[in-house]
Structure 1
Amino acid sequence: MALVTFTGYPSSGKTHRAIQLKGHLDRRLTDPSYSGPKLKVIVLSDDALNIDRSSYNDSLLERTARGALFDAIQRQMGRDTILIIDALNYIKGLRYQLYCAAREFKLRVCTVYVVATPGLCRRWNSERSDGRGYTTETLDNLIARYEEPSSMVRWDSPLFTVPWSESDVPIELIWKAVTEGNVKPPNVGTQAVLKAPSDALHTLEQVSTLLQAVSGVPGGHVTLNLSETLKPRVTLPERSLTLSELQRMKRQFVTVHKKAITLGTVEKGTVDWSEESVAHKFIEYLENNKLIIINK
C-alpha cells in the first residue's frame, strides 16, 4: 500500500514522530467513517530489529546493519500494509534503494524529514537513559555525513518536513500521500529480475541427446523423436552432419546461455527451462546457423 521513510539526524526525534504518525493512522483506519481497504500499520526500526547503536561505530558493521534493515523492509512490504521506516536513512543511496523496492511492490511513497539542530540532537542523545544513545564521536560523524532529502528528486518526494518546534506531524498531507498518491509502475531498473533455476546448467548439457539423434543421419526430411511430446520434423542437409560439428555448435549454445546463468538473469519475459524447451531452443539455434531447417 505505502512506504513512509523517516529521515533526520540521529537523536532528532524520529521515533517520537513515527509513533505519532502510527497513532494517527491506526485511529483513521479503525474509524467507522473509513471505507477504504483493510490496512495494517507497521513500524520498522533499528530497535525493533535489535540493531545496536554501536553498529554505526564501524563501517563494516554499519553496512551489515543496513542490509538487515533492508531485508526486513522487503519482507514487510505489501499491498495491505502502510510501512513506516524509523531509521537514520541518512544516505541518499539508501533512500533511493527503498524507493526502488517500493516501486517494485507498487507502493505509494513519501518521506518525512525530522529536523532538529545538531546542538539539540547532542543534548537529547546525552539525556537518554535507555542505553541506546550514540557515542559522541559517532554522533558527530553521522551528523557530518548526513545527506539532506530534497523534494526535487523523485525518491524523496513527496517530502514533508517536521521541525522540532512543531507539536505534531502533518497527518492530513501524509494521509493523502499514502492513500491517494500516485503509484509509479516498476521500470527496467526496479523490476525483479527473473532467475534461472538451479538445474539450468545441467538441463543445457542434456542437448547431447539431440546431437545423437541428428549426427550421421542422411539428408532429407526427418522426424526427431526427442520425447513423447517433442517430435519436431526437420530437413537435414544433403551431407551428414558430423558429431564434432554438432559438438562445436553445442558448446557455443551452452556458452551463450551459461552467461545468463552466471549473471543470475535470463532473457526478458517468461523462460521455460524444461529439457524439452531447451532442446527446442537448440534446434532453432541449429536452424539459425543454417545446419537444419525446421518444417513448420
Structure 2
Amino acid sequence: MPLVVLCGRPGSGKTRRAAELREALGGAGRAAHVVSEAAGGGRAALRAEVQRLLNRRDVVIADAGNEARSIRYELYCAARQAGTASCLLLCLGGRDGPDLPPFEAPDPRNRWDRPLLAVRAEEPLPLDALRAALFEGAAPVPHRSTRPQPLRSAGFLHGLDRLTQDVLTAVVAAQRGGALPGEAVPVPGVPEGLVLSRPVSLAELSRLRRQFISYTKMQEGCEENLPRLAAMFVQYLSRSIQ
C-alpha cells in the first residue's frame, strides 16, 4: 500500500495532518502507520522504519519536514522498490529563519515530488485527490537492479556454474597449449568455438564469468535456455574481450 510523504517548514501543521491522514486512510483490513522523525534517530531511522512498514496492505505516512530534495528522493525510491504508489503532501506556512534547515521547495517536474498536493493550515485535507493518487494511480516499476532476483532451481544454478566453468577451463588450457589470437578455441557445447582477439588472463575470465552468471540469474525464462547458455556465454566473452 502507498506512502504519503509530508513536507513543510516547522509549525506548518504536519503532525496534525499526519493524524488526520491516519484517521481518514486507515480502515477495515488496512492500517495506517505514522512514522515520525520526532521519535528520534533522524533521517536514517525514518527511512529504515518506512522501508520496514511498506507492504501491499497498509498506508505509511512519513511525518517529517523532508525539507531536502535528497530526503524526498530516498523515500520515493523506497516506495518504488516496494512497488507501491506514493505522493507528496506539502503543508504550507510555518516558520523560517537562519537557525532552521534550508527548505528546498518541491518541484512537480521531479518524479520524486509528484503527485504533489498542497494544503494550508485553515484548509481541509484534499482527501479525494489523495485517494486518487494513492489508490488509483499506477505504482512505479522497480528498477531491474532493485527487483528481487527470480528464484532458480538448484539444478539450474549447478548447470550454469558447471558449463561456464567448462568454458573457462577450455580457454585457459588452449592458451597454455599455445593458441594464438585469431585461432578458434574449442569449447564444449559450442561447435564454432571461441575466437580470441588477444590473450586473456584467468582473472579477467573469472570476472566476466561472474558478471554473466549474475546477469543470467536476473533474467526471466532462463530455465528453458540452459542448453543454449554455453553458446550465450561464448558470445558474451567474444563481445567483452576486444
> What TM-score does the superposition give when structure 1 sets the normalisation length?
0.55
Q: Which residue identity is paired with 2:66?
A: N
Equivalents in 1 of 2:16, 2:104: separation in Å?
Answer: 21
Q: Which of 29, 41, 51 is 2:32 aligned to?
A: 41
Equivalents in 2 of 1:72, 1:5: separation in Å?
Answer: 13
- Which residue in the other structure is 2:60 paired with? 83
Q: Which of 45, 50, 69 is 1:92 aligned to?
A: 69
Shift of the 287–160 alpha-carbon distance from structure 1 to 2, 3 Å rule, reads closer
User: 1:24-173 maps to which residues of 2 (within 5 A)?
Assistant: 24-26=24-26, 29-30=27-28, 38-48=29-39, 50-51=40-41, 65-118=42-95, 140-142=99-101, 145-166=102-123, 168-173=124-129
Shift of the 281–150 alpha-carbon distance from structure 1 to 2, 3 Å rule, reads same
- Which residue in the other structure is 2:203 paired with? 251
Does 2:215 correspond to 1:267? yes
> What's the % identity of the aligned pairs?
27
- Which residue in the other structure is 2:140 paired with? 184
Q: Which ranges of structure 2 fall in alignment gaps of 5 or more residues?
A: 150-160, 178-186, 194-198, 221-225
RMSD over aligned CA atoms reads: 4.1
Question: What's the CA shift for 1:88?
Answer: 1.5
Equivalents in 2 of 1:282, 1:248: separation in Å?
Answer: 19
Higher relative contact order (CA 8 A, sep 6+): 1
> What TM-score does the superposition give when structure 2 sets the normalisation length?
0.65
Q: Which ranges of structure 1 fall in alignment gaps of 5 or more residues?
A: 31-37, 52-64, 123-136, 195-202, 218-223, 225-231, 238-246, 272-276, 290-296
Equivalents in 1 of 2:143, 2:9: separation in Å?
Answer: 31
What secondary structure sits across from 1:47 in the alignment? helix
